[in-house]
Amino acid sequence: MPPVRLFILVPECDAEGESPWDWVQNTQPWTEQNDAQWNGSGRLGATWLPSKLRIIHRERSGDFYDFSTHPIVSPHAWDVLQGVVGESVEALPVHIVNGGPLLLLNVLDRVPLASGSETSCRGMKGLATLIHRFVFREKDLCGKAIFRVTGEGVSYYHCVVAEPFKKSVLAGGLIGADFIEIDWHPDPLAEYEGGAPVCVSHVVLA
């Protein structure tokens, strides 16, 4: 069986690394309550307070809007993606002060890094925000179309998607997103009964 192909979901950029697509900006000051919403790991619908966001217009408007920690998409994009993401994503309304409507995707699935992964820390109170070597247990990827990467001391804000997600985006004619393929590695210790302690290498960057 061929290995699962995985991609980092990012805004589409040109050769110089600049994105021509509109993005959204938070208009509200930081509060503990809002911060708790962004950092939650479960469903948020019952307590969700729609954030006030502003579209920053660039050269083109697409179906995906860059917003740091969470994908924000057009209603059309959600219509296309619902069939592939199933119950693993919760679509939440946001208040767009200069347009809309748009939806914030609360990605519910989590996949932990396995032994042999390599990360580095930069800011964020010493949390690893960069991953240089991805190692996963193959069983943890089963059936997941989109997920967030977790691990002790890891705070990785990009979403990772599998090939069915990418194919749905392309087949549905959705625009504004790009997919950076990950050269990930299966955990060589996963075959042993009971597994082994997870050892992730962290480097602190100045």
The stretches in the chain having pLDDT less than 70 are 1-2, 33-40, 68, 122-126, 190-206
Q: What is the pLDDT of residue 99?
A: 83
CB burial of residue 189 (10 Å; 0-12, 13-18, 19+): middle
What is the reported pLDDT for 204? Answer: 42
Would you say the pTM of this structure is higher than 0.95? no
Task: Give, for 196, the enclosing helix (H) or strand (E).
Answer: none
